[in-house]
Amino acid sequence: MIVGPCAAGKSTLAAGLRNLGYEAMPIAQEHSDIPALWRHAEPDLVVALDVDLPTIRARRAEEGWPEWLYQTQRRRLEQARAAAALIIDAGSASPADILARVAQFLQEQPGAGAELPNQLGEKPEPA
């Protein structure tokens, strides 16, 4: 499962991972006030993409994309981000680099390609 604010690259990463044979799904937790909505998908592993407000504005070509909305999305993502096995700064890397990094991380996991161990509740280290 992939979480992150708008324009972080969730859909792009999920498509790339699916092309590599992984079951990957972007979750729009940033749009829900239900803090644990992302858990309903019962993910084996959570990847969180971080991106800053200037990057979102540039990617969306909206100079005035509101800071209050960015802060709201960050709040809505807190639980999912805390449960993430991997956190990536998606504003400082290309989509290809992010895909390569996540794919390498997944390959290093026990049982990669099969059932990945459930990472929920573990505290991640920022990547």
- Does any domain span residue 56? yes
Residue count of the chain: 127
Do β-strands 2-3 and 47-50 pair in parallel, antiparallel, or remain unpaired?
parallel
Do β-strands 86-89 and 2-3 pair in parallel, antiparallel, or remain unpaired?
unpaired
The percentage of the chain sitting over the pLDDT mark of 90, rounded to a whole number, equals: 72
What are the φ and ψ backbone dihedral angles of 86, each rounded to 5 degrees?
-145, 130
Letter for the amino acid at 110?
A: P
Determine the pLDDT at residue 111.
62
- Does any domain span residue 127? no
- Does any domain span residue 11? yes
And the tokens for 96? 């290809």
Determine the pLDDT at residue 18.
95
| pTM score of the predicted model | 0.82
- Does any domain span residue 35? yes
The percentage of the chain sitting over the pLDDT mark of 70, rounded to a whole number, equals: 87
Question: Can you tell me the mean pLDDT for 17-44?
Answer: 91
Please choose, from the candidates 94, 92, 99, 12, the residue with its C-alpha nearest in 3D space to the C-alpha of residue 52: 92
Determine the pLDDT at residue 112.
53
- Does any domain span residue 93? yes
Residue 125 has pLDDT above 60, yes or no: no
Determine the pLDDT at residue 110.
75
- Does any domain span residue 116? no
Residue 36 has pLDDT above 60, yes or no: yes
- Does any domain span residue 124? no
Distance in angstroms (rounded) separating the CA atoms of residues 61 and 55: 10
Letter for the amino acid at 86?
A: L
Split into its structural domains, the chain has a count of 1
Distance in angstroms (rounded) separating the CA atoms of residues 109 and 124: 14
Measured distance between the N- and C-terminal CA atoms of the chain, rounded to whole angstroms? 17
Range of the domain at 99: 2-107
- Does any domain span residue 113? no
Distance in angstroms (rounded) separating the CA atoms of residues 62 and 69: 13
